[in-house]
């Protein structure tokens, strides 16, 4: 049996994503309506172009639906909670970085005053 080779590229078509995830194209289109996080871009011809991040989101949704047996609403809520938690961590890290930069700046100013 031949092993599927996944070529790393920027965008994937709906048929490629369907083969990768084992989901029918109509399921992917439906999920796009139900999950705000899943928004593949569309080219001029209207064809969907999925990124690696979109595919990861699809796989998360699939896991929530099949393994954790969540409804669409339950999976949507869980994804939004996770996204919210990720944003909170991102904001906290940003605040820590700004504080650190501020401290470094003060120390550099202090050193410059001592040198002068």
pLDDT band (50, 70, 90) for residue 97: confident
Q: What is the pLDDT of residue 3?
A: 47
Identify the structural domains of the chain with CATH numbers, from first to last.
Answer: 14-84 (1.10.1660.10)
Q: Which phi-psi region, left, alpha or beta, contains residue 46 (left: φ > 0; alpha: ψ -120 to 50)?
A: left
Contact 11, 51 (CB under 8 A): yes
Number of continuous H segments (helices) and E segments (strands) in the chain = 4, 2
Q: What is the pTM of this model?
A: 0.67
pLDDT band (50, 70, 90) for residue 7: low
Residue range 83-112: average pLDDT?
79
pLDDT band (50, 70, 90) for residue 64: very high
pLDDT tens-digit series, residues 66-83: 999 999 999 999 888 877
Q: What is the pLDDT of residue 30?
A: 97
For the cut 90, the answer to whether the pLDDT of residue 35 exceeds it is yes
Residues 71, 76, 77, 82, CA torsion sign? positive
The residue that leads in pLDDT, 76 or 106, is 76
């Amino acid at each position: 049996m031949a092993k599927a080779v996944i070529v790393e590229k920027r965008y994937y078509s709906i048929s490629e994503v369907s083969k990768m995830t084992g989901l029918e194209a109509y399921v992917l289109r439906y999920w796009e309506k139900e999950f705000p996080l899943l928004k593949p871009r569309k080219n001029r011809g209207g064809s969907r172009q999925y990124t690696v991040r979109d595919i990861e989101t699809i796989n998360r949704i699939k896991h929530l639906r099949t393994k954790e047996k969540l409804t669409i609403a339950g999976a949507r809520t869980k994804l939004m909670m996770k996204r919210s938690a990720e944003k909170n961590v991102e904001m906290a890290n940003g605040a820590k970085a700004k504080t650190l930069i501020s401290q470094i700046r003060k120390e550099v100013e202090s050193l410059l005053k001592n040198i002068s």
